[in-house]
Amino acid sequence: MSLSHPVLSVSGLSKAFTIHQQGKRIPSAQDATFAVHAGRLTALVGPSGAGKSTVLKCIYRTYLPQAGSIILHGDPPLDLATCDEHAALRARARDIAYVTQFLHCLPRQPTVDVVAAPLTAIGVPLPQAREAARIRLRELDLPERLWDVAPATFSGGERQRVNLARGLVHRPRLLMLDEPTASLDRRSADLVVAAIRAAKQAGVAILAIFHDPALVAALADDVVELSRPAEAACAA
Amino acid sequence: MIDRIQDGPVIEAQGLTRIHGRGCPDCVRLTGDVHGRNVCPACGSVVAVAEVSFRLWPGEILGVMGESGSGKSSVVRLLHLDDRPSAGTVRFRESHGRAHDLASIDEAEARRLRDTRFGMVHQNPHLGLNFGVSAGGNIAERLLCCGERRFHAIREAALGLLDRTEVPRARIDHQPGQFSGGMQQRLQIARALAPNPELLLLDEVTTGLDLSVQARILDLILSIQRDLGVAMVVVTHDLGVVRLLAGRTMVLRHGRVVESGLTDQILEDPQHPYTQQLVMSAL
Amino acid sequence: MSALLIAGTAQRFGFLDDFAVREIRRGLLKALAVPGYQVPYASREMPIARGFGTGGMQITLAIATPLDRLKVIDQGADDSVNAVSLRRFITAACPGLATTTRTAEATLIQTRHRVPERALTAGQTMVYQVPYPDPLQIVEPSERKRRLAHAHGDYARLWVKLYEDVVRFREVSISNRYPARVAGRYVIDPSPIPRWDLPKLHRSPVAHLFGAGREKKLYAVPPFTDVEPLAFDDVPFAVEAFRDAAGARRRCARCGAGDTYLDQIPQPDGGDRWQCNDQDRCAERMEER
């Protein structure tokens, strides 16, 4: 596969929330169009309220978009905006990783199992999944004494590395990052940035939101600017 | 497991409807969420569920959410063949490929499926366990239903299932009446798992238990999904339970599906006014 | 069917009216045709109370002819109060019907609690007085559910009872009424015969007819039919061993038989005396000696 091959093509993506109780319609993302390529990092930029996170959540199917298409290229290509739920779940399990600044995981689960979870979900036996998880955790320099502890007590930087390790463990084609270095100390942020670079090198297509313009400059191959939805679109 | 999806769905329900009473041609049209009722004004029949359609894939956990009277338990009763639909079809496919329409199955075949292919865990342990026999006996009954006739094999399998569900081995010959509520539920799960079922139905299994006990049972259910890949339907009124367990969720109200989707979508981007209200009141 | 009247009277042979005879015979035919299946029937009022053997007695009265020779036993004895009363009533209702205590001579044997020790021969008929016809009764109180379970061949809860027994006593503790599968299909309660007698039903050359008067059920084991006790593959069914402390087979204190079902009779000196339960067979053997 050529490195410039598009993994994801988003076109005309719009999302607005309808709050029935208040009779309100709140536009969030307006007509987003861009592509993400293998081995390249596309950064979404724009003012707060431009719908950057909304676009990621639409791609992940956490939000249902009103308009547009979200094509995950493959054989056959899949439109994540309209495909059925099982196809979306399968794309999540195999192709897409979504890493936010928060680590959402099952309580009471040891870190190594948290990281191994995406592999066991696609049928990899637990011992092999754990082995792969340990490799990722070592790459991200998470102290080994933490591996068998649940991440609940970890520092922000440790948690974020667990989060990223889990995102990368099953070698997704598309990695989505929502402010992965927010509120991290310098050393942790550097480790995360290094991991992102390594993933890019390995051919992963990355779609990212960074709070820090310096990171955009340092990591992005493509930059997509989103603007706040027009007021005219606000009429319910 | 997700990779088993290509085998096809375990359950495929189409237009599942259950009307208690005489029924009339207008029952379904005059009831449901848009009318805010499930009693037919024309004939007085109760429309427990109507036009429920869904698919359940191997290894998947489907959440069924709703308040009491929404029809969620009716769906479970129909799936478990404790009741038959007034209309609609439910296709159940066994792993070796044999498919059945549960809506028109005969009673002997229904018994076979209940005994060997399904597992059911009730909110009330008195419905799911035989309190007159030991914990081991409760598990043995399911194995005996499947034709196991070796005493020692039954004993070994029962011990294995107790280990699996974290019930101490030493309790195998105790009667469930001597167990704590959480342990009774775990024993129910052990019993349900005994024949290696292809469909596990869980009806409000954590309702009314202490939070720490609930957590242990939810962990157990997740590990069962991870290790055994059995398809499950989890009925609950608790958003926290579907959030933790279910990949997809179906929201019922007045016997109708008002919304269904990926669980995180239902929780973060609910479309239907009722779901929005439900999510907002919980958060 | 024309009524068989007792000579010189208007009294019917066999006490029962034509309709009752016809119904019971039809029921028995059905029971023989579907081995082990419990056929419901309208149990008649008899001059003895229900629960005292009316089911067996109705079968005997419905099938006996003046050509038969009847033996009635209760707990292996021909001379106990119940056996004597039943025999007296049946012979009064069936003039000309001969009686005997010898198993080999009888054509019709009505019994409670025992199958004779002497091997039965083709042409004889066994009639059992049954208190509880349904083996599932101990595990399922609802008759409707029991019938469904029989129809579906679902005996899992009965098996659970065996499981619980093995757990508690390391063996199946059922001493009598041991459930058995007939012809590979229905499981029967063989009436309160001891385990010792159950193998005698397996491929027996005679018809075994069971009547439960109070519960209004008839069932049967036809000749040469498989009767298999329910048992785990690795905890086999076993009859009573009758072994003494040293492990030797006990013998009858009267006739010396070492191959019969024995009664344990406590003695004033604190010891036990063991002797044949089947008194006629015991007497026969003593005569032979």
Please give the pLDDT value at position A102. 82
Whether residue A96 has pLDDT greater than 60: yes
Q: In percent, how much of chain C has pLDDT > 70?
A: 98
Taking the CA of residue B226 and the nearest CA in chain A, the distance in Å comes to: 7
Rounded mean pLDDT of B84-92? 94
Flag if A86 and B55 touch (Cβ within 8 Å): yes
Partners of B4 on chain A (C-beta within 8 Å) are 123
Partners of C234 on chain B (C-beta within 8 Å) are 150-153
Question: What is the chain B residue with the closest CA to C158?
Answer: B141
Taking the CA of residue A105 and the nearest CA in chain B, the distance in Å comes to: 9
Taking the CA of residue B144 and the nearest CA in chain C, the distance in Å comes to: 5
By Cβ distance, the residue of B130, B145, B150 closest to C232 is B150
Mean of per-residue pLDDT scores for chain A:
89
Higher-pLDDT residue of B275 and C172 is: B275
- What kind and span of H or E run contains C109? strand C108-112
Chains with 3 or more CB pairs under 8 A to chain B: A, C
What ipTM was assigned to the predicted interfaces of this complex? 0.88
Taking the CA of residue A109 and the nearest CA in chain B, the distance in Å comes to: 9
Task: Tell me whether A201 touches chain B (CB under 8 Å).
Answer: no
C15-64 pLDDT tens trace: 999 999 999 999 999 999 999 999 999 999 998 888 889 999 999 999 99
Mean of per-residue pLDDT scores for chain C:
93
Question: What is the chain C residue with the closest CA to B106?
Answer: C152
The 3-class SS string of A120-181 reads HHCCCCHHHHHHHHHHHHHHCCCCHHHCCCCHHHCCHHHHHHHHHHHHHCCCCCEEEEECCC
Please give the pLDDT value at position C3. 56
Taking the CA of residue C179 and the nearest CA in chain B, the distance in Å comes to: 15
Please give the pLDDT value at position A156. 84
A109-135 pLDDT tens trace: 899 999 999 998 888 888 999 999 999
Flag if B144 and C163 touch (Cβ within 8 Å): yes
Please give the pLDDT value at position B7. 64
Question: What is the chain B residue with the closest CA to C235?
Answer: B151
Q: In percent, how much of chain A has pLDDT > 70?
A: 96
**Burial (0-12, 13-18, 19+ Cβ within 10 Å), B24:** middle
Per-residue confidence band for C113, with pLDDT thresholds at 50, 70 and 90: very high
Task: Tell me whether C132 touches chain B (CB under 8 Å).
Answer: no
Higher-pLDDT residue of C12 and C118 is: C118
Taking the CA of residue A24 and the nearest CA in chain B, the distance in Å comes to: 12
Residue C179 CA: distances (Å) to CA of A144, B137, C156, C227: 62, 18, 12, 10
Mean of per-residue pLDDT scores for chain B:
92
Whether residue B3 has pLDDT greater than 60: no
Taking the CA of residue B90 and the nearest CA in chain C, the distance in Å comes to: 23
Flag if B269 and A62 touch (Cβ within 8 Å): yes
Whether residue A231 has pLDDT greater than 70: no
Paired with A24 in beta bridges are A19
In the β-sheet with A78-79, what is the strand arrangement from edge to edge? A24-37, A6-19, A67-72, A78-79
CB B235 within 8 A of CB B203: yes
Q: What is the torsional sign of CA B122, B126, B127, B131?
A: positive
Task: Tell me whether B151 touches chain C (CB under 8 Å).
Answer: yes
Partners of A93 on chain B (C-beta within 8 Å) are 2
B101-159 pLDDT tens trace: 998 899 889 999 999 999 999 999 999 999 999 999 999 999 999 999 999 999 999 99
Q: What DSSP string runs through C50-88? A: TTSSHHHHHHHHHH--TT-EEEEEETTBSSSHHHHHHHH
Please give the pLDDT value at position B208. 85
3-class secondary structure, B268: helix
Q: B116, B130, B144: which to substitute to probe chain C, counting the most C Cβ within 10 Å?
A: B144
Per-residue confidence band for A165, with pLDDT thresholds at 50, 70 and 90: very high
CB C249 within 8 A of CB C277: no
Task: Tell me whether B268 touches chain C (CB under 8 Å).
Answer: no
Instruction: Show the domains of chain C with their CATH numbers.
Output: 3-130+199-223 (3.40.50.11310), 241-289 (no CATH)
Rounded mean pLDDT of C251-269? 94
Any contact of C with A, at least 3 CB pairs below 8 A? Answer: no
Partners of B217 on chain A (C-beta within 8 Å) are none
B60-74 pLDDT tens trace: 999 999 988 899 999
Q: What whole-number distance in Å separates Cα of residue C222 and Cα of residue C217? A: 16
Chains with 3 or more CB pairs under 8 A to chain C: B
In the stretch 5-44 of chain B, residues with CB closer than 8 A to chain C read none
Flag if A20 and B273 touch (Cβ within 8 Å): yes
Per-residue confidence band for A22, with pLDDT thresholds at 50, 70 and 90: confident
- Amino acid, res. A136: R
Per-residue confidence band for A236, with pLDDT thresholds at 50, 70 and 90: very low
Rounded mean pLDDT of A145-159? 89
Q: C147, C155, C163: which to substitute to probe chain B, counting the most B Cβ within 10 Å?
A: C163
Q: Which of C156, C250, C233 is nearest to C196 (CA)?
A: C250
Question: What is the chain B residue with the closest CA to A16?
Answer: B269
Catalytic residue positions of C? 36, 252, 255, 276, 282
Whether residue A3 has pLDDT greater than 60: no
Chains with 3 or more CB pairs under 8 A to chain A: B
Question: What is the chain A residue with the closest CA to B272?
Answer: A20
Instruction: Write the CB contacts of A186 (distance below 8 Å, at least 6 apart in sequence).
Output: none
Partners of C181 on chain B (C-beta within 8 Å) are none
C221-232 pLDDT tens trace: 999 999 999 999
Flag if B2 and A89 touch (Cβ within 8 Å): yes
Whether residue B1 has pLDDT greater than 60: no
Task: Tell me whether C147 touches chain B (CB under 8 Å).
Answer: no
Flag if B268 and A123 touch (Cβ within 8 Å): no
At CA C76, angle to CA C71 and CA C81, rounded to 5? Answer: 75
Question: What is the chain A residue with the closest CA to B244?
Answer: A106
Long-range contacts of C63-66 (CB under 8 A, 24+ apart): C63/C24, C63/C25, C63/C28, C63/C108, C63/C125, C63/C127, C63/C209, C64/C14, C64/C90, C64/C94, C64/C97, C64/C108, C65/C97, C66/C13, C66/C94, C66/C95, C66/C96, C66/C97
Please give the pLDDT value at position A2. 46
Task: Tell me whether A124 touches chain B (CB under 8 Å).
Answer: no
Q: What DSSP string runs through C159-210? A: HHHHHHHHHHHSS----BS--EEETTTEEE---S-BGGGGGGGTT-SSEEEE
Partners of C154 on chain B (C-beta within 8 Å) are 111, 115, 145
Task: Tell me whether A186 touches chain B (CB under 8 Å).
Answer: no
Which range, of A18-22, C66-70, C95-99, C148-152, averages the lowest pLDDT? A18-22
Flag if C235 and B140 touch (Cβ within 8 Å): no
